[in-house]
Each structure stands twice: as structure tokens, then as C-alpha cells.
Amino acid sequence: MARPLNHERRRALLIAVLEYAARHGLADMSLRPLARALGTSDRMLLHYFGTKENLIGQALIASRPDVPALVHGATPESLAAGARALWHDMTGGGEQEPRVRLLLEVLALAMTKPDLYGEHARGAVTNWVGPVADAMRALPMHDAEARSTVLVDGLRGLALDYYITGDKARVGAAAQFLIAAATTPASSPVSG
């Protein structure tokens, strides 16, 4: 008879996996060193998660914030303030920084290993873009989906620039420009 899952232990392992992956990356992650670092065995990780890919996928899903709750009832001002707070957290060593670093790695890996990371990468995009676009439509803002994409993906791209260059002033100014452009209601739709 299979050993029943301890759901509390499973949640704790997911948090520890996120921390480990944020420090060591995903590309070369192996179960044995991961298990050693977590104070468990690779057999136990397989018991809880089945495969390394499933373990990584579950850790990524567990790290996603409840974006609809974050943007529910938003105003243009609160969207801009929330985006500024998120940017500060992403680049100031806050809770989001290791998650975003890990997410950027997943997005890059999805291009060369779509069978392993593609679904998680797509989920990470739609998890943010969709709810932010819905909040913008409710305001109403023209071009909500395009604005949401610019805001979410733009901040991720700028975070990548910052993580690589460390140029906080230049990239921070660009982030503030992007946030203002994406969250300021326009009188007419952006033309293509």
C-alpha cells in the first residue's frame, strides 16, 4: 500500500524547491543535490511529485500570486501604484525578485524545451495579462489587452535588463515611463 501524502510537508517542500531553484537555477537542476539540500531523499521527492518536471511545475504554480484579487476594483491610480510596488519588489530584493528571476528562466527554457516548460511559461503569461486586462476593461481603458501586455511583459523585460546590467537608474526610469504609459487612460484607442 502506498504511503499517504502529508500535504503540509508537500507545501513546505514546494516552498523550499522555489528557494533552491531561485538560487541554483532550473537548467541543470538534479533531484539528488536538490533532495540533499532540502534534507530529504530523491525517492521522497518522487513520492510527493512523481517526476522532476512535475515538481518544478507544481513549485511554479505554487509561486503564482492571486492576480485577480490583486487587481479587483482597481482604478488607474491603484494599477499604477500596484505596478510601481511590484517593480520595487522585483528589483529591491523583495519576495517577487527570486520568483521573477525563476520565471524569466522558465520563459527562456520554454523556447528550447517547450515540452517541459512551455505550458508553465504560457500559464505565467496568461496568469497576469488576462486579469490585468480585465481590470483595465472594467475602468474602462481602451486597448486593455495591449496595455496589459505592455505592462506585464514590459516589466519582465526590464527586470531582465536590470538583473543582467544592474543599472537601476536607467532601467528604473524606463519602468516608471512604461507604467505611466500603460496605466494612463487615453481618450482614444492606440492606432496600429
**pLDDT tens per residue across span 130-178:** 999 999 999 989 999 999 999 999 999 999 999 999 999 999 999 999 9
- Alpha-carbon gap, residue 97 to 2, rounded angstroms: 38
Domain extents in the chain: 7-62, 67-183
The C-alpha atoms of residue 122 and residue 37 are separated, in whole angstroms, by 29
In CATH, the number for domain 7-62 is: 1.10.10.60
What are the tens digits of pLDDT across the range 46-95? Answer: 988 998 888 888 888 888 888 988 898 999 999 999 999 999 999 998 88
pLDDT of 6 above 60: yes
